[in-house]
Structure 1
Amino acid sequence: MLNNPIPENEMERIISLADYDLDYTSFQDSFKDLAKLAAKVAGTEISLINLIDSFTQWTITSHGLDIDQMPREDSVCQYTIAGNNDHFEVQDLKADDRFKDKFYVTDKPNLRYYYGIPLTTNEGHNLGALCMLDKDLKTLSPEKIELLKIIVDEIVNRLNVHRLITCLKTKLHEANETKMKVAHDIRGPLGGIIGLAQVISEQGHENKIEEVLEFINLIQRSGRSLLELADEILTADKPQRDLKTDEFNLIVFKDKLEKLYTPQAMNKKIAFTVSTSVNLSTIPFSKNKLLQITGNLISNAMKFTPISGKVTVVLSLKIEETQNLLQINVTDTGVGLSLQAVETILSGKAQSTDGTSGEQGYGFGLALVKHLVDSLKGTMHIYSNPGNGANFEIVLPQVQA
């Protein structure tokens, strides 16, 4: 069995990809023109824009081939992102031992030629690749390759714009939250000042202290003005019922996970279900890093669950006095984990092993989950025994809407 190629900076690479906080299903329109242009420039039937996480190659836009995802270990692009070269070319997939038995070579579309260019960030992280594919053998001229590199630069630029917009929305959301908190915080003291001024004012009427009364009346008027301003801020910033672009609710989150990971379950003949708590299913919460965290847990669970097994995801939201708690449970009927393995994962130092169907691992998926959960000030628990499956429980604090 051939070993999977792994970039030297793999942990940093997948953290960088997670920082883009991408929904892999929402970019068809954003990059469709570039995928088509790349195929036209290269003279190939097919071009794909792929992003590669710990377990999966996600095709965010395609031209000439209807594909959404494939296991990372089956992809050619895993070689494109593994090295420091500016491209990876396979003249004949059918003659290459690494790829000759892959489904896309032996069956339709019976691919023969591959040319891939990594999507590299300014920090040197290869997020994925633009690849050109054909069922006939090809040769690309230097002029065509230079044009393809320009297209790659534009893909990375658009990804960076998306990240920038997401970051600005997050900062705006945080600023609004701060404004709300300030408004809440000043209402209490101001109410006390006005109440105290009212008492002194009443005593002043009895004592006929005109100057004191005039001063206190000024305090009252100023205090009431500030209190009205705080009420105005609170009223204007009440969140809308419609979801914002940086929010999920349990229904939307459930649908996303089913769409992204049902194909993986069907491919391995595993039963996959996602359920939610119905009574709180429409309350919004931040979607920040949720697909990256939950997706890695699901892919990991499927990797270690045998054929005819089950992977179950339960999503719930708990309303508390000062915050909401989003709880994610991913449970499988797989091989289970030893106490030592659990402790290794929770320490953020998980290593990869082969899956139940021989899937080779890359060793960073659960380490990334632990990193992201910690960055969101959440908690991660693992309940498992060897041979009895595993339950990964994530709890993430959420600001109340």
Structure 2
Amino acid sequence: MSEINYPVPYNESERLLRLSDLDIDYGSLSESFKDLTHLAAKVAGTEISLVNLIDAYTQWTIGRHGLDLQQMPREESVCQYTITQNDQFEVLDLSADDRFNKNFYVGAPLSLRYYFGVPLKDNDGLNIGALCVLDTGLKTLGPEKIELLKIIAAEIMNRIRTYQTMELMHNNLKDLKESTKKVAHDIRGPIAGIIGLSEIITEQGKSANLDQVIEFIKLIHSGSKSLLDLADEILSDNDEVKGPGVNEFDLSSFRTKLQELYEPQATCKNINLNININPDKKNIVFSKNKLLQINGNLISNAVKFTPSGGTITVDLDVVVKPETNILRIVVADSGVGIMEDEIVQILTGGIGTKQGTGGEKGYGFGLSLVKHLIDKLNGEMLITSEKGQGTVFRIELPQRHS
């Protein structure tokens, strides 16, 4: 059997930058999509529905119904094909398709067969992920159900944008009690209406008339857009207020979040992931901005190029200075190492794709994205490596005093 050529969207660099700009904490949004994943499964008549975002290395499941999935390597996912499409992607039988039939979800106990996915498009048409439905039985979807799934996908993107806007509002309005009350009062009603419509559809189940279901979903969609407009309006009314913000980590919470997100990847490959902090600086806060994207790509890259039984060590520290604190991050692995010319390519934003030690597919964008984000934050990155002995990434990011 010939080697599978994994798909890469033609606008992959722009797509990854847009996903990074959203700065999403992949582990925090599950409840936000609970009603929509349930609704998607009901509409499609499938056992499973997932909301997946796809970065340079990993597919992150941020919404789920019927399957408790958190993440998987990008090269094992079906949604990596969906994000290359403008409209939709369907696989009638995963077990009969050489691209997927060796993956864990096709074999027992999941034994999945049917897949249908719709891209999650931002306002510029960039596919940051996919809404998908899956089933253990063989089936196909009619045009009405496909159209409903596309409406639900658009609503998911509205909620992601709303989440981003709310985060920005939260940062700007931390110390404004009255404004916060206004936000809560103005938004509570629209949210209650949206949830109520979703519950009506779910409770009616199969007895609901299709035309009525379509109208309800359109109301959900338009209600959410109005909610987003309201959030933007409130934000614009108060954009002159610059509080210290709550979008922050300290070393302890940062370590915990990295362990939650990336321990599964390391464990899956039998790699020991150690994340250490300076205990004397554990309560000093710093901005979350882009940190999960920077560290996530570095850790995922280390997992990819470290063989089974190896070690990855992440050291986190804050250097306190009079003018500005410095967040210091060191990611060291016992992997295959990087040649000197490749280090130069990384630091100039031009590294290409390579295959990992376990055959993992490389997409050639993760480290370029890290360098881009560090530059935007006025930080510095130093790379040292010895072939066959591992690689060390040293990052320094300036932080304003809280």
Return the offset for 1:141.
Answer: 1.3
Does 2:4 align with 1:2? yes
Give the superposition deviation at 1:238: 9.5
- Partner of residue 28 from structure 1, selected from 16, 27, 30: 30
Q: State the alpha-carbon separation in 2 of the partners of residues 238 and 318 from structure 1.
A: 23
Residue 165 of structure 1: CA displacement? 2.7
Q: Does 1:112 align with 2:81?
A: no
| CA positional deviation for 1:305 | 0.3
Cα offset, 1:82, TM superposition: 1.6
Segments of 5+ residues of structure 2 without an aligned counterpart are: 175-241
List per-residue Cα deviations over 1:203-241 (Å, max 9, x = no partner).
xxxxxxxxxxxxxxxxxxxxxxxxxxxxxxxxxx996xx
AA aligned to 2:311 is K
Structure 2 counterpart of 1:347, one-letter code? T
Code of the residue aligned with 1:331 in structure 2: it is A
Deviation at 1:91, TM superposition (A): 0.4
Call closer, same or farther: CA 1:245–1:50 in 2, change over 3 Å.
farther
AA paired with 1:385? E
Q: How far apart, in 1, do the equivalents of 2:282 and 2:114 lie?
A: 47
* 1:286 aligned residue: 287
Q: Is 2:173–2:243's contact at 8 Å kept on the other side of the alignment?
A: no
Structure 1: runs of 5 or more not aligned: 174-236
1:1-400 to 2 correspondences below 5 Å: 1-83=3-85, 85-169=86-170, 245-400=246-401
Deviation at 1:128, TM superposition (A): 0.4
Alpha-carbon shift at residue 99 of structure 1 (Å): 0.8
**Structure whose CA Rg is larger:** 1
Measured after TM superposition, the shift of residue 171 of structure 1 is 5.9
SS of match in other structure, 2:105: helix
In structure 2, the CA distance between the partners of 1:318 and 1:37, relative to structure 1 (3 Å rule), is same
- What amino acid sits opposite 2:128 in the alignment? L
8 Å Cα contact 2:171-2:243 kept in structure 1 = no
| Residue identity (%) | 55
Kept after mapping to 1: 8 A contact 2:37/2:63: yes
Residues in 2 aligned to 1:28 and 1:105: alpha-carbon distance in whole angstroms: 24
Partners of 1:354 and 1:124 in 2: how far apart?
A: 29
Shift of 1:162: 1.7
Structure 2: distance between partners of 1:238 and 1:45 = 45
Counterpart of 1:105 in structure 2: which amino acid? V
The alignment partner of 1:253 has SS state of helix
Q: 1:323-373 CA deviation, whole Å, 9 max, x = no partner?
A: 100011100000111111111000011111000011111110000000000
Provide the aligned length of Structure 1 versus Structure 2: 334
Distance 2:376 2:140 in 1: 46
SS of the residue corresponding to residue 86 of structure 1 reads coil
Deviations 1:38-73 (A, max 9, x none): 001100000000000000000011100011000000
After TM superposition, give the deviation of residue 170 of structure 1 in Å.
5.3
Q: TM-score, normalised by structure 1?
A: 0.81
State the one-letter code of the partner of 2:297. N
TM-score (norm 2): 0.81
Call closer, same or farther: CA 1:245–1:238 in 2, change over 3 Å. closer
Q: Distance in 1 between matches of 2:49 and 2:342?
A: 41
Separation (CA, whole Å) in 1 of partners of 2:173 and 2:291: 20
Work out the CA distance in 2 between the residues paired with 1:365 and 1:279.
32
Distance 1:59 1:238 in 2: 32
SS of 1:282's partner is coil
Question: How far does residue 169 in structure 1 lie from its aligned partner after superposition?
Answer: 4.7
The root-mean-square deviation of aligned C-alpha atoms, in Å, is: 1.6
